[in-house]
Chains A and B, each alone.
Chain A
Amino acid sequence: MSEHFRLSGATGRAVRFVFDGVTYQGREGDTLASALLANGVHLIGRSYKYHRPRGMLTAGAEEPNALVAVERGRGRMTPNLRATQIELYDGLVATSQNRWPSLAFDVGVINDVAGKFYSAGFYYKTFMGPKFAGTALWTRVFEPIVRYAAGLGARPTDPDPDRYAQFYAHCDVLVCGAGPAGLAAALAAARSGKDVILCDEQSEPGGSLLHETTATIDGRPARVWAEEGLAELKAAANVRVMARTQAFGWYAQNFVALSERVADHLAELPRGARERLWQVRAKRVVIATGAIERPIVFPGNDRPGVMLAEAGRIYLNRFGVKVGSRVVVVTAHDSAYRVALDLAAAGVTVAAIADVRSMPLRARMQEAEAAGIRVISSATVTGTKGRRRVSGVGIAQVGGDVVGGTDWIACDCLLMSGGWTPSVHLYSQSRGKVVWHEDRQMFLPGASVQDERSAGACRGSFTLEAALSEGDRAGAEAAGIETARPSFAITGEAGTEGGVLGRLPRRPGAKGKAFVDFQNDVKADDIELAVQEGMRSIEHVKRYTTTGMATDQGKTSNLNALAIAAGKLGRSIPQVGLTTFRQPYTPVTFGAFAGANRGDLFDPVRQTPIHSWAEENGAAFEDVGLWKRAWYFPKPGEDMHRAVLRECRQTRATAGIFDASTLGKIEVVGPDAAVFMEKLYTNPWAKLEPGRCRYGLMLNEAGFVMDDGVIARMADDRFHVTTTTGGAPRVLHHMEDYLQTEFPDLRVWLTSTTEQWAVIAVQGPKAREIVAPLVAGFDISKEAMPHMSIREGTVCGVPARVMRVSFTGELGFEINVPADHGRAVWEAVWAEGRKVDAVAYGTEAMHVMRAEKGYIIVGQETDGTVTPADLGLNWAVGKAKKDFVGKRSLVRPDMIVDGRKQLVGLLTEDPAIVLEEGAQITATAAPAAGTRALGHVTSSYASPALGRSIALAMVAGGRDRSGERLYVPMPGGAIAVTIVDPVFVDPKGERLDV
């Protein structure tokens, strides 16, 4: 095969490519579609439902049929690409889709023969009701078949190795579309000196001018005018011209998303990004998105070789490719005459122009006749012939309501033009309301909702002169300057009148599939059936038939579907309504949306200053919010259970060292600091002396526990507040909320210091021995530094805040040092710890040891519905305080009612059983279905200190149930438990007092 349909004298370097295993030759500058057509290949895919053979319908982004997969190595398979947009490069490998076993012979074609089973509403009708829903027949037989058969293309299975970049961009004027209107707009706006972005989806800007060979603009061939304009734009420092860039989505306040294909047109794999997503905030936008030619609805309008008329001209004039050797043109619009003339001039036989209008413009008729082309007016199409390629078309003439006899005309290509549909997608996405123009039979942009303006064919201005001058005006206006040139001199333009909507006239009872939506295989009959079955709104017709719901979103089909539904309903088009234009205009890859936000860069991975030490010492890590925390430190051969057992035992025997750096920290400073603390925490603070600490409990206004932590008073006007690891941002926000909006007169300020300090907890009876040698400037003896106190001085020579606190029930210190020193201080502490056989312990051992002491963890024992009283924490609530956030709620009726869930301890009767956290607790072993649970298990561990399992739970009226036997029903049978006090170890706190 070597380009039999290429015009002689075609330039462009020859390149080889493979389609469905066959190697072909194309030219640089080709699309896959133009290169295949140059080789006479029209058949490129099978349709979605009926598996009918399909070919290229269009030459652009609106293509519904020619979807292929491009394969460029492992992980680089992209399905559902439009062959009309794929730029050819040497070595391109593409395959057709939706066919098995091969494109030419496809088993699914049985659907075509058995088509009546796939009529409108097929899924709704077939698989509804008790006959199918939830049955094995459905789940085992039909669903897998439907799932296999459904969808387009195949899903890539390997990870995508390419890079996708995302950028925000800002400009004064964004011009979407670089056809005549867009170029004129950009040229006008550029003169203002303001920042202009001009984007166009095609490989080269120019739009329709790229294939315009007859018209001239200001005395220059249209294409030359476009090239000169483009050169001017590219040379301007304030203009960025973006080719291969689709403006696919419009969001609030002129926020427009662009998808740029950076590297798919290159033979080499990309070194930088494959695609870029641009999120552009534009002060003003010019929409110059052109118009899309409409297919005509007649039987057999989907055969390979049946194409939109202008596509035939694009392939000829831009790519040097003849779409056939013998062409019939079926049209309702003047523009197709120019197509016929250009083809005839290139040596293609134009067998006839069948114009569906009764009186085509005289000028058009004369042009055609001059070129020796027969024109049939009042024409309709009764059918087409040919299986894998159109071989003939049946034309009949219509007189009144009567369709005459069919005249079969042989052809290998049928070009059709139902007229042009302005591309109002972006305008509509901007929330503008399109307006139906009955006289012109089209929806056009109405009033602007955002700061945008449409120009050219997308607002129904089809002549070159109108497109250019509107573009010029829109560009100037968007840039805030006067337009410099009110008009353009045009010669040689094609006609711009005509159009038809809905299906062509047919004989009563005529058969044959007349397609409306090619990609979803929706026929005119389906739409009429939907109306017949009671659908009234186009939104219902759309969902029932799936018209317009394919990946092309009905770019070529929506207007015809609407007209057919309206016709059947006997209502006007605006009465039937228009479906919503949704983003994206064309499909966008997941890669573009994900950008760099994947793998290690998906979320920030927050590491403490001591993380590297833990890593070097074999720690297993767990995720706590965005933090990585050392979970446990297994020795060789240890599993988690053994490691945690050892860490807990050794901590209680001598000492353990723990990285507590992730604890939230907030410095509350100012003369009113204590007053503020009184308001935000349940506890009293006014009388807490500097140098002392207190356990603080924070409620939300509804009276529920939202956070807790140890709070140290550094000075009269300064508190060092700690929060839970996950709660830090929430607590600061909550504090700022009250400070700024409820107590703005307080002179106090809040500063997050979470990351200022590395925090090293040293816990255990030998803790003091470990810390003492490293400290200077204060005394950490039992007498000088009691439990719950804080001192400032130095540790290892760096400024430090040392708290005597405990979350294990053992003697404990928490050393706060500036974060950069954290690792070195940790190593010094570790070296001291080694002398007493101290261990490093992780979060799991921390959890176990605190549970042994009955200390709660906010978010584990609490769930946003728990009060201090429920937790047995009333001792932390200042009774004498007049007010604090949440106080009033604590005396609401539901908060003091009997039977609320309360924190208790649980012991299983079998000490070896460790309960499931979250398990329900019931009064009987086998409660009747529907019995309300008494509570649930909140924390559960194997306790090294007790040598048995322990659990914490929230149980209704729990504190009055001490000693009661309850049950935890599990799939393997109920587990008997006894309610006990939640403090399992050292209830008197003697171990703290050393």
Chain B
Amino acid sequence: MLLIHCPYCEMDRPELEFRYGGEAHIARPADPMATSDETWAEHLYFRSNPRGLHAERWRHISGCGRFFNCLRDTVSDRIVTTYKAGEARPEIDRGAA
């Protein structure tokens, strides 16, 4: 069981309190009806699935209830950093992971 640092609670909490929420920084288009079928399908279904650092959403559902973002290395399953929803993805060197 991982320990995950909740950026709102500002403490490490057990993974069991969290729920995974898929890839982060996939913004819903401001006017979906103005998007093409291709763009919309891309938005709905296509994800980056990288080997290495992955920005993803988690929710501290059985804690403070907040969604936040996290950078996790998909090779080592190590969480490199977490940050609040709405904040930009931190610049982290792949090698530091």
Contact = CB atoms under 8 A, between A and B. Distances in A.
Interface of A: 251-253, 255, 279, 281, 701-702, 733, 736-737, 740-742, 744, 882-883, 887-889, 892-893
A42 to B, nearest CB: 44
A733 B65 CA distance: 9
B1 interface: yes
Contact of B32 (A253, A736, A883, A893): A883
A703 B32 CA distance: 12
A888 B85 contact: no
Pairs of residues from A and B, 4 with the lowest C-beta to C-beta distance, nearest first:
A888-B32, A740-B67, A742-B28, A253-B3
B3 A741 contact: no
Nearest to A742: B28
Given A253-B3, A742-B28, A883-B32, A737 B67 contact: yes
B83 interface: no
Nearest to B44: A702
A883 B33 contact: yes
B57 A892 contact: no
Nearest to A740: B67
B88 interface: no
A741 B40 contact: no
Nearest to B65: A736
B91 interface: no
Contacts of A744: 85-86
A733 B59 contact: yes
B40 A892 contact: yes
Given A252-B1, A702-B44, A889-B44, 20 more contacts: A252-B2, A253-B1, A253-B3, A701-B28, A701-B44, A733-B19, A733-B59, A737-B59, A740-B66, A741-B57, A744-B86, A882-B33, A883-B31, A883-B32, A887-B32, A888-B33, A888-B40, A889-B40, A892-B40, A893-B37
A731 to B, nearest CB: 13
B7 to A, nearest CB: 13
B83 to A, nearest CB: 13
A712 B38 CA distance: 38
A752 to B, nearest CB: 11
Interface string B57-97: 10101000111000000000100000001100000000000
A736 B57 CA distance: 13
A892 B41 contact: yes
Contacts of A701: 28, 44
A251 B1 contact: yes
A882 B32 CA distance: 9
Interface residues of B, number: 23
A253 B14 CA distance: 11
A279 B14 CA distance: 12
Interface in B2-51: 2-3, 19, 21, 28, 31-33, 35, 37, 40-41, 44
Contacts of A741: 57, 67, 85
Contact of A740 (B28, B31, B85): B85
A478 B37 CA distance: 58
Contact of A887 (B19, B33, B41, B65): B33
29 contacts: A252-B1, A252-B2, A252-B77, A253-B1, A253-B2, A255-B1, A701-B44, A733-B19, A733-B61, A736-B59, A737-B21, A737-B59, A737-B67, A740-B66, A740-B67, A741-B57, A741-B67, A744-B85, A744-B86, A882-B31, A882-B33, A883-B32, A883-B33, A887-B32, A887-B33, A888-B33, A889-B40, A892-B37, A892-B40
A281 B37 contact: no
A736 B61 CA distance: 10
Contacts of B19: 733
A741 B85 CA distance: 7
Contacts of A893: 37
Contacts of B57: 741
A736 B21 CA distance: 12
Contacts of A740: 66-67, 85
Given A255-B1, A733-B19, A737-B67, A888 B35 contact: yes
Contacts of A736: 59, 65, 67
A701 B28 CA distance: 10
Contacts of B40: 888-889, 892
Contacts of A733: 19, 59, 61
B1 to A, nearest CB: 6
Given A737-B21, A740-B85, A281 B33 contact: no
Contacts of B67: 736-737, 740-741
A281 B15 CA distance: 13
Contacts of A251: 1
Nearest to B40: A888
Contacts of A888: 32-33, 35, 40
A293 B37 CA distance: 67
A888 B19 CA distance: 27
A253 B5 CA distance: 13
A733 B19 CA distance: 10
Contacts of A742: 28
Nearest to B19: A733
A281 B44 contact: no
Nearest to B69: A741
A889 B86 CA distance: 25
Nearest to B35: A888
A239 B96 CA distance: 36
Nearest to B4: A253
Contacts of B3: 253, 281
Contacts of A252: 1-2, 77
Contacts of A737: 21, 59, 67
A549 to B, nearest CB: 26
Nearest to B61: A733
